[in-house]
Amino acid sequence: MSRSYRIRVRESLRRVIRASDHVSSQLELLEILPPEQMAELLAQELTGRGFERKGNQVVRKDQGISIAVDLGSGEVTVSAAAQGKVDLTSEKEGRAYDDAGPNSAQVKEQLRKAIQASLAQEADRQTAELQKQATDRLEAALGDVRRELDQAVNRATAAALKLKASQMGQIKNLTEDAATGSLTIVVEV
């Protein structure tokens, strides 16, 4: 009469998972003043909105959303990153006909591989979920970021127009409508 042995294998997986997503686009500044001056005006406008100057870039990180504007090229990158920990443990049982012999080792190895595969699958699922969360967050933030950048570009353009007008002559009258963004400058040359 043969006797079977119960083999139990426990495996755990600890991993730091990261997810990120980003979109890039180009800010278009009208060349009212030389590019360096336009970039400077934009930088001033953006730093007034909580951006930090870092060399030729202005950046802001807020609630997991990072916005970076390259003042030289006008490229703006908005990214979202997320990080999480996966701590998974799984246990499986099998049967072997020996206690510490070749069959037991084979069964243990099979069980270990099966557990590792299922743990890796679960880790991948959690990574995909984290990725989805990062993308969802980025997508939700994008509309506000776009509006804010549009406003910043408009205000930088208005500032450039005022500077340009003052270079051309004496500003007699300046009317600005914050609601529509329209700007009327009367210059005496």
Partner 1 sequence: MPSPLPTVSRFEADLLTLLQGLLGHAPRSQWLPILTKAQPRPKCLSAAAVRLVADTLAKGATRLVAEAGWRSERFLRGGEAATGRLWERTAPSELGLAFSPLALDFLMWATSETCAKPAALWKVPRKRQLEIGDRWLLAAAYGAVRQSDIGVAWVQGEPWRNEPLCQLLYAADFDHPANAAPLDFSPWLVPAGIAILEASQRQLAELWIEMEAAKERVREFEELRAMAASQRRALDAYFAAIDKIERRDLARFLLAAARTLTTPGANVRRRVPELRLEKLRLADRQQAYRDAVVALQYVVELGRWQAAARGIGYFDEGYAAAQLWKADWEAYHGDALSSAAAAALAETQGLVAEIPRTAEAARASPAETG
In angstroms, rounded to a whole number, what is the distance separating the alpha carbons of residues 158 and 161? Answer: 5
In whole angstroms, how close is the CB of 149 to partner 1 at the nearest point? Answer: 6
In whole angstroms, how close is the CB of 21 to partner 1 at the nearest point? Answer: 5
- In 3D space, the residue among 164, 166, 111, 152 whose CA is nearest the CA of residue 27 turns out to be 152
| Residues forming the site for partner 1 (CB under 8 A) | 21-28, 76, 78, 128, 131-132, 135, 138-139, 142, 145-146, 149-150
- Measured from the CB atom, the residue of 25 and 56 that comes closer to partner 1 is 25
In whole angstroms, how close is the CB of 147 to partner 1 at the nearest point? Answer: 9
In whole angstroms, how close is the CB of 90 to partner 1 at the nearest point? Answer: 25
| CA dist list (Å): 147 to 27, 31, 110, 141, 182 | 12, 21, 56, 10, 16
- Measured from the CB atom, the residue of 141 and 163 that comes closer to partner 1 is 141
Number of H helices, E strands in the chain: 2, 7
Q: What DSSP string runs through 29-72?
A: ---SS-HHHHHHHHHHHHHTTT-EEETTEEEEEETTEEEEEETT
Count Cβ atoms below 10 Å from residue 110 Cβ, excluding itself: 15
- Measured from the CB atom, the residue of 86 and 153 that comes closer to partner 1 is 153
- Measured from the CB atom, the residue of 96 and 138 that comes closer to partner 1 is 138
- In 3D space, the residue among 2, 33, 15, 17 whose CA is nearest the CA of residue 132 turns out to be 17
Handedness of CA 31, 150, 134, 25 (dihedral sign): negative
- Measured from the CB atom, the residue of 67 and 111 that comes closer to partner 1 is 67
In whole angstroms, how close is the CB of 77 to partner 1 at the nearest point? Answer: 9
